[in-house]
């Protein structure tokens, strides 16, 4: 009555590199507001569902990465301050925060896609009561996929969803590999994909999913790496690499093939039909080229505008950093947030120039205040603690000197002791004012001095 389970159907697990700048486009495609939507069935988009993470995950992830940059920058400035590396401290304040990852062509994030062949999902199975259950395989695959992601990547999985509005059921997930490393004696938060063994070793990932999805009758994909090693050891030609083709590229290739086939059939018709078809094809091509040209011009304008905004933002951050480093600016923290204020001794011309650069980008100004306020707070706290410790040491030295004066006075004649006591009371009053304890010695201390006289 029901289709028999297919044999040797492989589970598909694929990793793709991502950068934080890709998250916005990724989220727009998830909501079907951008990207290639030619293969999407809008009538089924409401069936797509979240598996891991909540709405707004992309914005929270970007904010978390920005906080990592700010925390790393503040820790670095604190370390340079403790080591009294003034030139390096000034240079880093001007340079600003750095991205918390090592630059590679893949990017610091990873997208994971889990699926199987469409025919496997289309096969019908019966539920416990013997009735047809059209979605039993999807539910089983979904449960195992969610467990596999959480078991192997834990909290680094910030988002996972199941797409049911495309040709084949599949699952997308995004991994943010956050790790704390020791760099030059200072802790730094970094994005490091190699922290996860399954990202570091592709063959290990294929072994893992093959074993995990075996209860559904799915098997591990082709052991191509092993086949290549065996062929090379035997001196044979290794098997060709099966390049993954994106859906959008496959659709373009299919569209091209269909157009070429149609054109070949049209060429067999009469000369008149052939000329009409040729004319229509040329008109379509002109329209397509005009449309592409317009889109490219608009894209170029958008990129140019974005570049200008980024440059203004960077210039504003740089101006704030230079102003703080030169002593022209200070940052005050209040209930309403951080405020950039002019230093009392600042050069007015320098302040005016820096303010003009900062005014070009309110976003750059806010980012600079967010970063530098945290760094300056740590530097100020350290300076306050050092000053307090120095005052305490000086006060103790004065007390020891006063005790020595008392001992010397005990050996002098009465008249000299009386004169020394008057001098000591005047000095004690000034010391008490400096230490914040009052303007005059206490009555008990005065009585004790008179007894010594």
Task: Give residue-wise pLDDT tens across range 329-373.
Answer: 777 777 667 788 888 888 888 888 888 888 888 887 787 777 777
Contact yes or no for 30/161 (Cβ under 8 A): yes
Is pLDDT at 112 greater than 90 in this prediction? Answer: yes
Closest CA relative to residue 328, chosen from 108, 93, 160, 84: 93
Query: With pLDDT > 70 as the criterion, what percentage of the chain qualifies?
Result: 77
pLDDT-based confidence at 153, cuts 50/70/90? very high
pLDDT-based confidence at 122, cuts 50/70/90? confident
Q: What is the mean pLDDT of residues 128-140?
A: 78
Give the pair of three-digit tokens for residue 4.
């028999």
Per DSSP, the residues of 36-69 read --TT--GGGGGG-EEEES-TTHHHHHHHHHHHHH
pLDDT-based confidence at 252, cuts 50/70/90? low
For all residues of the chain together, what is the average pLDDT? 78
Tens digit of pLDDT for each residue in 367-420? Answer: 777 777 777 767 667 766 776 677 677 677 777 766 777 777 777 777 777 776
pLDDT-based confidence at 453, cuts 50/70/90? very low
Tens digit of pLDDT for each residue in 161-170? Answer: 998 888 888 9
> What pTM was estimated for this model as a whole?
0.53
Find residue 181's DSSP bridge partners. 188
Is pLDDT at 4 greater than 50 in this prediction? Answer: no
pLDDT at 93: 81
Cα separation values, 273 from 222, 276, 287, Å: 49, 5, 21
Closest CA relative to residue 82, chosen from 379, 324, 390: 379
The dihedrals phi and psi of 224, each to the nearest 5 degrees, come to -70, -40
Cα dihedral 176/178/183/187 (nearest 10): 150
pLDDT at 3: 45
Contact yes or no for 41/135 (Cβ under 8 A): no
More confident residue, 66 or 262: 66
pLDDT at 157: 95
Lowest mean pLDDT among 2-11, 44-53, 100-109, 444-453: 444-453
Tens digit of pLDDT for each residue in 224-250? Answer: 666 666 667 777 776 665 555 454 454
Tens digit of pLDDT for each residue in 285-324? Answer: 888 888 888 888 888 888 888 888 888 888 877 887 787 7
Q: CB count, 10 Å around CB of 191? A: 22
Is pLDDT at 176 greater than 50 in this prediction? Answer: yes
Sign of the CA dihedral running 196, 202, 206, 211: negative
pLDDT at 165: 83
């Amino acid at each position: 009555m029901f289709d028999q389970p297919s044999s040797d159907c492989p589970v598909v697990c694929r990793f793709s590199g991502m950068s934080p700048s890709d998250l916005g486009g990724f989220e727009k495609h998830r909501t079907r507001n951008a990207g290639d939507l030619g293969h999407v069935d809008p009538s089924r988009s409401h069936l797509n569902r979240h598996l891991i993470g909540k709405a707004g995950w992309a914005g929270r992830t970007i904010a978390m990465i920005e906080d990592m940059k700010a925390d790393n920058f503040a820790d670095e400035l604190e370390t340079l301050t403790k080591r009294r590396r003034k030139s390096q401290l000034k240079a880093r304040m001007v340079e600003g925060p750095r991205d918390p990852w090592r630059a590679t062509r893949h990017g610091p994030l990873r997208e994971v896609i889990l699926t199987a062949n469409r025919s496997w999902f289309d096969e019908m199975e019966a539920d416990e009561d013997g009735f047809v259950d059209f979605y039993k395989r999807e539910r089983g695959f979904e449960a195992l996929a969610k467990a596999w992601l959480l078991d192997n990547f834990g909290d680094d999985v910030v988002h996972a969803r199941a797409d049911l509005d495309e040709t084949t059921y599949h699952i997308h997930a995004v991994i943010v590999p956050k790790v704390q490393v020791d760099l030059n004696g200072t802790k730094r938060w970094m994005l490091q994909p190699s922290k996860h063994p399954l990202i570091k070793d592709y063959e290990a990932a294929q072994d893992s999913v093959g074993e995990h999805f075996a209860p559904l009758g799915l098997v591990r994909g082709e052991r191509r790496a092993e086949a290549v090693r065996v062929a090379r050891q035997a001196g044979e030609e290794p098997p060709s690499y099966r390049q993954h083709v994106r859906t959008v590229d496959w659709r373009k290739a299919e569209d091209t093939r269909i157009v070429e086939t149609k054109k070949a059939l049209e060429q067999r018709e009469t000369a008149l039909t052939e000329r009409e078809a040729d004319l229509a094809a040329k008109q379509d091509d002109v329209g397509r080229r005009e449309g592409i040209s317009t889109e490219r011009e608009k894209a170029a304008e958008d990129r140019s505008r974005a570049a200008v905004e980024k440059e203004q933002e960077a210039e504003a951050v740089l101006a704030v950093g230079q102003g703080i480093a030169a002593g022209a600016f200070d940052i005050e923290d209040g209930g309403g947030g951080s405020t950039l204020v002019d230093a009392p001794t600042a050069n007015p011309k320098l302040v005016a120039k820096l303010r003009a650069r900062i005014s070009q980008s309110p976003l750059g100004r806010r980012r600079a205040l967010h970063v530098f306020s945290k760094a300056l707070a740590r530097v100020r706290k350290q300076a306050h603690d050092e000053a307090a410790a120095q005052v305490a040491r000086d006060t103790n030295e004065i007390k020891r000197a006063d005790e020595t004066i008392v001992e010397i006075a005990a050996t002098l004649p009465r008249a000299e002791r009386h004169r020394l006591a008057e001098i000591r009371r005047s000095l004690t009053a000034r010391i008490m004012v400096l230490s914040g304890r009052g303007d005059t010695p206490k009555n008990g201390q005065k009585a004790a001095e008179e007894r010594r006289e």
